Structure 1
Amino acid sequence: MQEFFATQGSELVRLLWEHIYMSAISLGLGIIVAVPLGILLSQTPKIADFVIGVVSVLQTIPTLALLALMIPILGVGKVPAIVALFIYSLLPILRNTYLGMSKVDPTLLDAAKGMGLTRMQVIRQVQLPLAVPVIMAGIRLSTVYVIAWTTLASYIGGGGLGDMIFNGLNLFRPDLILGGTIPVTILAVVADFIMARVEDWVSPTTSSKEGDESLA
């Protein structure tokens, strides 16, 4: 192991950084697009099934096939890889945002409207806070997916830890395979842990929880 880090350490750090920022950009774009779209669809359920159906169809395209489809459009490199990963990140976030917003107890919405809240105030102050745990579950799932799928970006020159894994496969070097696979696994676990903590932080605290804490 010491010899591996001596010879491949700098390359591992470079590829790990590439992997992180490609994953982060793809996921960030997915959140920016899917969360507002999911909120909008929850207010217009007549078109929600169609839009989610279209995104679901994109999700069924094999990852390598989608990456290959990016080449005639955007060429090779990090940009087409990020676009493909962004497309893959959409469905879990979009679906969970829509479900989280749609499944809020109607009596709470009626009560909010009875208090004189506007439609936007109901969305912002009632639906969205209550939907946060479901939305974050979708983001957590998408995070792990994107980190894993980013390894395939190497096929179109995107870089990342996939370079080390596939070089190891081509050269029959188990050390390179493990050197790329283990950091990807650790990265996915750490990212999921961080997202879980963010979910706890942004989720609203119910009165029952507060009561339990005061009794304790």
Structure 2
Amino acid sequence: MWQYLVDRRELIAFQAYQHVSLVVQCVALATVLAVGLAVLAYRSPRITGLANGISAIGLTIPSFALLGLLLAPFGFGITPAVVAVVFYAALPVLRNAVVGLAGVDQSLVESARGIGMSRWATLRRVELPLAWPVILAGVRVSTQMVMGIAAVAAYVLGPGLGSLIFSGLSRLGGANALNATLVGTIAMVLLALVLDVVLVLVGRLTTSKGIRV
């Protein structure tokens, strides 16, 4: 395996970069979309229930099935991979954002409104900062989850380490097939660990000292 890794280090490094880039960009986009939807939903119990239901149902959809359905409108390539990864990444963030915002102490919200803050200012300066640790927990879950889904996106010729894994699986028994599968899988696990550490550091830097656990 070591020789395989040395001989193909540039290709593996490039595919690892593609994988991380796909995951990071999709999770960032999913976080923006999910938090935006949560802001619209969390004040209404009915809409909150609907958002939680969509999140729960969405996570039951097999990634292979969704990618297959996306082939019709988008064809092969990066687009169906991005759509699928953003979809799955948004679901845990949406649920956590709704829970986090709904769980903010209403006395704090009323105090902010009482000193003259607008609804938008209260959301931006009180509710979102207090809900941020819960939202970030959802982002961490999403990041770990979509690392694997991004690999499955190689099914539609998406970028990343999935192509290395699929190449090895399709040639099991052949030369370097097992090496390709193991290198792709191990690299993906290591990248997931690195991203989780980065998100922990982001949480420490962006969470107010007064609400850190």
5+ residue gaps, structure 2, are none
- Structure 1's 207 and 79: CA in aligned 2 closer, same or farther, altered over 3 A? closer
Structure 1 residues 187-215: Cα deviation after superposition (integer angstroms, max 9, x where no partner):
00000110011011111111899xxxxxx
What is the letter of the counterpart of residue 44 of structure 1?
A: S
Is residue 182 of structure 2 the alignment partner of residue 202 of structure 1?
Answer: no
Is residue 199 of structure 2 the alignment partner of residue 192 of structure 1?
Answer: no
- 2:209 alignment partner, SS class: coil
Aligned match of 1:214: none
- 1:206 alignment partner, SS class: helix
Aligned match of 2:82: 82
Is residue 172 of structure 2 the alignment partner of residue 181 of structure 1?
Answer: no
Contact 1:85 1:149 in 2 (8 A): yes
Aligned match of 1:49: 49
Using the alignment, how far apart are the partners of 2:87 and 2:160 within structure 1?
A: 18
- Structure 1's 208 and 130: CA in aligned 2 closer, same or farther, altered over 3 A? closer
TM-score (normalizing by structure 1): 0.90
Using the alignment, how far apart are the partners of 1:18 and 1:170 within structure 2?
A: 21
Same amino acid, percent of matched pairs: 34
Using the alignment, how far apart are the partners of 1:106 and 1:122 within structure 2?
A: 11
Structure 1 residues 3-51: Cα deviation after superposition (integer angstroms, max 9, x where no partner):
2133221221221122122212221220121111112212333322223
Shift of 1:186: 0.4
Contact 1:26 1:86 in 2 (8 A): yes
Runs of 4+ in structure 1 displaced over 4 angstroms? none
- Structure 1's 207 and 8: CA in aligned 2 closer, same or farther, altered over 3 A? closer
The alignment covers a number of residue pairs equal to 209
Using the alignment, how far apart are the partners of 2:27 and 2:211 within structure 1?
A: 33
Contact 1:76 1:157 in 2 (8 A): yes
Aligned match of 1:147: 147
Shift of 1:150: 0.7
Contact 1:22 1:78 in 2 (8 A): no
Contact 2:89 2:142 in 1 (8 A): yes
Moved more, 22-31 or 44-53: 44-53
Moved more, 181-190 or 157-166: 157-166
Using the alignment, how far apart are the partners of 2:78 and 2:187 within structure 1?
A: 20
- Structure 1's 10 and 99: CA in aligned 2 closer, same or farther, altered over 3 A? same
Calculate the aligned-residue CA RMSD, in Å.
Answer: 1.8
Aligned match of 1:213: none
- 2:159 alignment partner, SS class: coil
Contact 2:130 2:211 in 1 (8 A): no
